[in-house]
Amino acid sequence: MRIVLDAMGTDDAPRAEIAGALEALSSFEDDVEIVLVGDRDTIEAGVARHGPIPDRLLIHHAADRVTAADSPASVLRKKPDSSIVVGLRLQQEGKADAFVSAGSTGAVMAGSLFILRPLPGVARPAIGTILPTSEDPCLLVDAGANVDCKPQHLVQFARLGHTYVQDLMGRPSPRIGLLNIGEEPGKGDELTLETHRLLAEQEGLNFIGNIEGRDIIRGVCDVVVCDGFVGNVLLKFYESVAAFIVGLLKRELKELGEGSQDLEHVFRVLDYAEYGGAPLLGVGGVSIICHGGSPPKAIRNALAVAAQAVRSGMVGHSARNLSRAVRAEE
């Protein structure tokens, strides 16, 4: 298996990428190769600082890189030699099995849509994100790829999340919750009212009904389905609140001169780096999006997620599961 890693994505590129890739290779199974895509000289120099280049670390040159100033929609046309476009093409041409990038989310999304193409019947590929809960983590779909969704889009998010949780999180019958403002089926806005009706009709989905904002942290479901507007606001809010509270407490504990290290595992629950990247779901390939500020650990974990997605056959399962939905609606 070969995983492409965009070497020019993080704020600290390519340092964080190189360190993350080396960590991954030292712990992954032997059949995994990692292809760093980006400026060859810079990458080679960066890797050399760690020692000789390992056998399973390949370097593929890309002359250009996407910056924050680039409009995501124009990247394909204007930056065909960027690490994102070059990296995604390797997968499309069958020369790699997965793509991981901490570059511009919009550019990775646009590139994945145009190069890997949506799976048959998928109107809106979506971003999944792992959220920590008081029980096992859950998957939120959509975390921001689509606003102004229609009910049938949310049904697809549910199916995509279902397969991801089965294949990547090892849960045989993922509980699907529809994020709403009340538990009763009659609660909600136009979108969630109709989505509830459609989800209740689907076959092969363990739809547990509406869930409220307060239920997420209780871990009542494995997949939280929502419009990308709500998902994006919620995700950014969660990350910031966790960081705020952890910061507050670390300061307090420092003043008290005690215990900070003992609480590290509590803080870890709230650390996004633990959960690797966010998968783009509903495209014909594996595409994992990481934070721009990802440390090597987050890159390593995203590479592990990519490897597991390939190994489990997630993309094929997604296509098959989506086709069930289409049949059910006909």
> Residues in the site for its own copies, rule: CB under 8 A?
134, 144, 147-148, 179-181, 188-190, 192, 212-218, 226, 228-230, 232-242, 244-245, 248-249, 252-253, 256, 258-259, 262-263, 266, 269-270
Distance CA 226, CA 224 (A): 7
Comparison of 235 and 283: residue with beta carbon closer to its own copies: 235
* Of 166 and 232, CB closest to its own copies: 232
Q: How far is the CB of 268 from its own copies (least distance, A)?
A: 11
Which lies closer to its own copies via its Cβ, residue 7 or residue 273?
Answer: 273
Using the minimum distance from each CB to its own copies, give the nearer residue, 31 or 189. Answer: 189
Nearer to its own copies, 51 or 186 (CB): 186
Q: Least separation, in Å, of the C-beta of 229 and its own copies?
A: 5
Cα–Cα distance measured from residue 110 to residue 307, given in angstroms and rounded to the nearest whole number: 22
Whole-number Cα distances in Å, 224 to 142, 158, 228: 8, 8, 11
Nearer to its own copies, 192 or 321 (CB): 192
Q: Which residue carries 């507050």 as its tokens?
A: 248
Q: At CA 6, angle to CA 288 and CA 87, rounded to 5?
A: 85
Q: Which one, of 82, 53, 79, lies nearest residue 65 by Cα?
A: 82
The residue ranges of DSSP E strands in 132-183, in sequence order, are 138-141, 175-179
CB of 261 to its own copies, least distance (A): 11
Question: 31 or 252, CB closer to its own copies?
Answer: 252
What's the min distance (Å) between Cβ of 150 and its own copies? 12
Taking the complex as a whole, how short is the minimal distance between the CB of residue 179 and its own copies, in angstroms?
Answer: 6
Give whichever of 242 and 319 is closer to its own copies, judged by the CB atom.
242
Find the radius of gyration of the CA atoms of the chain: 20
CA distance 217 to 135: 8
Instruction: Considering the complex, state which of residue 11 and residue 258 has its C-beta at the smaller distance from its own copies.
Output: 258
Whose structure tokens read 């999180």? 169
**Residue 219 CB, nearest approach to its own copies (Å):** 10
Shortest Å distance, C-beta 134 to its own copies = 6
Q: How many helices (H) and strands (E) does the chain have?
A: 12, 11
Give the long-range contacts of residues 261-264, CB within 8 A, separation 24 or more: none
If you search the block for the tokens 């995203």, which residue do you land on? 302
> In whole angstroms, what is the distance from residue 109 CA to residue 280 CA?
7
Instruction: Please report how close the Cβ of residue 194 comes to its own copies at its closest, in angstroms.
Output: 12
Edge-to-edge order in the sheet of strand 57-61 = 57-61, 33-38, 2-6, 98-101, 287-289, 278-281, 126-131, 138-141, 223-225, 175-179, 206-211
Write out the two tokens for 287.
């595409």
Q: How far is the CB of 263 from its own copies (least distance, A)?
A: 6
